[in-house]
């Protein structure tokens, strides 16, 4: 039995020399040191030994077990070190290589212009008001003095959601002004930015969904001069202090008198170019003095109060600001285009 233990030790140590993976090492440990292993099988035979031989063989068996355990532990440490070395080589990072540049998102050009416009109006004492995008015709048309025969009320122009034409997607943010006038007494000074909808074909300057900022001021003694001063300040802040404006007579059902506002072309400086169609001017917005019928319909006495209103297309403002000649570029989400702003 003594010889068999020595042979078992030699056999185990020799087998350890060929092990190169942790799984094989564990199998070897179980084979020799497990509960059903080789050493345990030999120890079960100790009952046949004499009383003098048992302690000698027991000491030898413990020494053989300890030698094999130490050899296995040493081999395990070698395998772990070898594996770590391989991982360090395979996972090595070359710190001299240039790093990867990840694109960082930027604000949309329309958001840039919209935020600037909000800041300008807030600086002039305006509040921001919002309203529903699905609107009643009473607020989008009737209370704005738009007659039943007006082309804007046709099915070909407006997205109606009911057959009786009483509910539709709003054509403008002017209904917000009406709602504010109904619940708030003058003085009133608000802007109402938001999405609006019209049945326009998509092209370089039209879209069935676009954005507006509409403004309203109602107080005692408000005149056309106040409107011009407000809009001139907006233009100078957005497009530069030397930007010239031009007010042209126009007609809107909810204002009287009404006018459209042009600014001198920011591309050619008024000399004439493709952007301004050689006119030297760019149309920017519509405006005017609030019609007395609109004030009266909202419960405001037009003999005491007056006001002005204006409406600006955010897409138009953005295109003029950055020299963009096609509105569709603002909605196509092409990062090559958007990353320029």
* The pLDDT of residue 44: 65
The yes-or-no verdict on residue 45 having pLDDT over 70 is no
Is residue 197 within a helix (H) or strand (E), and if so which, with residue range?
Answer: strand 188-197
3 CB-contact burial (10 Å; exposed 0-12 / middle 13-18 / buried 19+): exposed
Residues 133-176: tens digit of each pLDDT: 999 999 999 999 999 999 999 999 999 999 999 999 999 999 99
Residues 95-138: tens digit of each pLDDT: 888 888 887 778 899 999 999 999 999 999 999 999 999 999 99
**Upper half-sphere CA count for residue 314 (Cβ side, 13 Å):** 28
3-state DSSP call for residue 16?
helix
Residues 207-240: tens digit of each pLDDT: 999 999 999 999 999 999 999 999 999 999 998 8
Model confidence at 40, pLDDT cuts 50, 70, 90, reads low
Rounded Cα distance between 22 and 243, Å, is: 79
Q: Kindly state the tokens that stand for 118.
A: 């909000």
Query: Helix, strand, coil proportions of the chain in percent (round to 5)?
Result: 45, 20, 35
């Amino acid at each position: 039995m003594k010889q068999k233990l020595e042979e078992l030790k030699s056999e185990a140590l020799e087998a350890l020399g060929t092990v190169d993976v942790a799984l094989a090492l564990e199998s070897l440990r179980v084979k020799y040191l497990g509960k059903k292993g080789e050493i345990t099988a030999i120890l079960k035979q100790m009952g046949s030994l004499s009383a003098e031989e048992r302690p000698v063989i027991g000491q030898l068996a413990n020494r053989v077990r300890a030698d094999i355990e130490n050899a296995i532990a040493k081999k395990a440490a070698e395998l772990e070190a070898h594996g770590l070395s391989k991982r360090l080589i395979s996972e090595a990072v070359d710190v001299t290589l240039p790093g990867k540049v990840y694109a960082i998102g930027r604000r949309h050009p329309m958001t840039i212009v919209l935020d600037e416009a909000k800041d300008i109006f807030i600086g002039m004492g305006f509040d921001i008001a919002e309203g529903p995008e699905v609107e009643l015709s009473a607020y989008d048309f009737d209370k704005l003095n738009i007659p039943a025969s007006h082309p804007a009320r046709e099915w070909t122009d407006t997205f109606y959601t009911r057959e009786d034409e009483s509910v539709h997607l709003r054509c403008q943010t002017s209904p917000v002004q009406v709602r504010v006038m109904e619940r708030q007494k003058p003085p009133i000074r608000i802007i109402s930015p938001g999405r609006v909808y019209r049945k326009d074909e998509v092209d370089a300057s039209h879209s069935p969904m676009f954005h507006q900022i509409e403004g309203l001021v109602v107080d005692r003694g408000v005149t056309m001069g106040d409107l011009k001063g407000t809009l001139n300040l907006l233009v100078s802040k957005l497009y530069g202090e030397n930007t010239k404006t031009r007010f042209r007579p126009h007609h809107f059902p909810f204002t009287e008198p009404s006018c459209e506002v042009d600014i001198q072309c920011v591309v050619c400086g008024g000399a004439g170019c493709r952007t301004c169609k050689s006119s030297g001017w760019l149309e920017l917005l519509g405006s005017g003095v609030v019609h007395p019928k609109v004030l009266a319909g909202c419960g405001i006495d037009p003999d005491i109060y007056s006001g002005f209103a204006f409406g600006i297309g955010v897409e138009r403002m953005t295109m003029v600001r950055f020299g963009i000649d096609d509105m569709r570029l603002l909605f196509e989400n092409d990062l090559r285009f958007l990353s320029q702003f």
